[in-house]
Chain A
């Protein structure tokens, strides 16, 4: 009993600095943001009303949800393939997959966004190459639009999508797959009817993480969207730093936080936190 108690005390002490930091650096300032949303420029619900009636805000919200949804689908499918190799491949394949998953974490998000610009721009590597082999005559518009944003964001988020999937695949009972084959099921059929359904919790966790991350993306869409595919985070930035409209910016922030909070609550009703890492 004493052991458990002291363990808990120890855990609480170890957690305390982090909690304190979160309260001081996030929770407390966010309460300030909430206050602005109700008081600037005049007290009341005016900013939330504007938020509903402003067609620009609405179109940015819809674009954000659409990009987040596409990025989620692309990232989870790509991450699933990588994870299968990482968890179930030969030793050499595993090392390669691990390298591909970990290397992106060492490169700054800014560097990667500019890297994609270099690859995708009108005079970038891809267009130059496609033109040189005569496949296209005019450069394709691959960047400064939603396509570029989706590519850049997926590239950033795939490694995050890998971990919940790997956790689900590692906890899967190998004998169930053998059983399926022993009962006459081909490898393909076993994959689709047994393996994929059994990693469902990993797919849900992975999709939720990517989706929630996508909603708050700022740097990547700002660079690869070139001002044409503005997402929510960039809109908040513009409202607060470029047009003196702190109240509306604050109201959008509050809506985003509430939305993400609701999604996270839903996620944790289906998936345990430890399944996500």
Chain B
């Protein structure tokens, strides 16, 4: 149906937006590749939705230029940009049937009745709404309304599809189903998808790249595994999932990474430490730490005492306190957690050198 070549390539060049004295978006430069699935992730008020609205043409940037396939579209009104958009809450036309909703962008483009009928039919089938064509949006479930919104935004084969927190109103199981569906639609259409969410697991699961925003600034862009395993700063590290932060002293680069002192024990890191010297923060995800009776010499490890556990079914979340009072959380097999708690005395926390990464010490 859609030629992958039709997907748009977007360049944002120094985009900024102020609402009065509020700086919603600051000096954003970002390339969105052809056919990419890019997620804009951040807490509310971080600027991600503002950027999406600027992409759609609903909000005019205060400065910077926006290019689509090389053409400057900064001043082009929304109705001429041909970006498909799925809104939070769907924004379906309440007085039109499913069929009429999906046909709307084609009617606007003055397609022939025969073509409209054929393409709406295809789209209805593709999103699994067959048999619901004549219904009004109010007669549909949340998931079905979502499908109508997707079909309406994709039927005119836009170069880019913009999605503003489309799943926020759905319950958890339906959300998983719709995520899978959206991934399939992305592959089938080959269109560039730009997706806004504040749910980090959704972002990691769906995207080819994730862009993380906070306070109007773009903090990091990268593949899900890059931003998760190698966050650029503390905010990104914490926003993408639970993480342990341990102070390290005397960090210095070595051949294959860096080394430093954590709780008076030498620890090794695989990451490069050009920018980070002296005191820093060592960050390790809970699932990358294990519990051991002792740490071999040369192995990364610190001593700690288990204080509490939370049973999660497949695993147990165990809270520990290190000798120097740092709080650490690990995700371990249930029986390991039980054993560590019952012992009541010190255990060792160990982790592979490549799973720990350094962040600048202090506030950042």
Contacts and interface: CB of A to CB of B under 8 A. Distances in A.
Partners in one complex: yes
Interface of A: 173, 175-176, 178-187, 189, 193-194, 197-198, 200
B95 A185 contact: no
A198 B80 CA distance: 24
B89 interface: yes
Instruction: Identify the interface centre among A175, A183, A185, A186: most chain B CB within 10 Å of its CB.
Output: A183
A89 to B, nearest CB: 19
A175 B87 contact: yes
Contacts of A183: 79, 84-85, 104-105, 108, 152-153, 156
Contacts, number: 68
Select the residue from A175, A182, A193, A198 with max chain B CB neighbours within 10 A: A182
B276 to A, nearest CB: 44
A169 B75 CA distance: 29
B56 interface: yes
Given A184-B108, A185-B105, 11 more contacts: A176-B93, A178-B56, A181-B78, A181-B79, A182-B57, A182-B85, A183-B104, A184-B105, A184-B156, A198-B95, A200-B95
Interface residues of B, number: 28
A200 B89 CA distance: 21
A189 B87 CA distance: 20
Contacts of A178: 56, 58, 78, 85, 87, 91
A194 B91 contact: no
Interface string B81-116: 111110111011111000000001100110000000
A173 B87 CA distance: 11
A180 B152 CA distance: 10
B95 A197 contact: yes
B106 to A, nearest CB: 9
B108 A185 contact: yes
A184 B82 contact: yes
Contacts of A180: 93, 104
15 contacts: A173-B91, A175-B88, A176-B94, A178-B56, A179-B85, A180-B93, A181-B78, A182-B58, A182-B79, A182-B81, A182-B84, A183-B153, A184-B108, A186-B108, A198-B93
Contacts of B94: 176, 198
Nearest to B149: A179
Given A181-B78, A183-B152, A184-B105, A176 B92 contact: yes
A196 to B, nearest CB: 10
A194 B79 CA distance: 15
B79 A184 contact: yes
Given A178-B58, A180-B93, A185 B87 contact: no
Interface string B149-172: 000110010000010000000000
A197 B97 CA distance: 13
Interface string B4-44: 00000000000000000000000000000000000000000
A182 B78 contact: yes
A182 B104 contact: no
Given A181-B79, A184-B109, A176 B104 contact: no
Contact of A185 (B85, B104, B153): B104
A181 B87 CA distance: 13
B98 to A, nearest CB: 15
B148 to A, nearest CB: 11
A64 to B, nearest CB: 33
A182 B162 CA distance: 10
Q: Which 7 A-B pairs have the closest CB atoms?
A: A175-B91, A183-B105, A179-B91, A182-B85, A184-B108, A197-B95, A176-B91
A176 B109 CA distance: 18
Contacts of B162: 182
Q: Which of B56, B58, B89, B95 gathers the greatest number of chain A CB atoms within 10 Å?
A: B95
Nearest to A196: B95
A183 B80 CA distance: 9
Contacts of A185: 79, 104-105, 108
A193 B94 CA distance: 12
A200 B94 CA distance: 11
Contacts of A181: 58, 77-79
A183 B87 CA distance: 12
A179 to B, nearest CB: 4
Contacts of A187: 79
B123 to A, nearest CB: 13
A139 to B, nearest CB: 48
Contacts of B82: 184
B93 A194 contact: yes
Contacts of A198: 93-95
A112 B153 CA distance: 52
A22 B57 CA distance: 56
Which of B85, B152, B162 has the most chain A CB atoms inside 10 A of its CB?
B85
A82 to B, nearest CB: 23
A59 to B, nearest CB: 40
Nearest to B53: A178
A175 B165 CA distance: 13
Nearest to B56: A182
A178 B85 CA distance: 9
Nearest to B153: A183
A252 B33 CA distance: 76
Contacts of B87: 175, 178-179
A189 B108 contact: yes
Contacts of B108: 183-186, 189
A181 B79 CA distance: 5
A175 B169 CA distance: 15
Contacts of B81: 182
Contacts of A193: 104
A197 B92 CA distance: 13
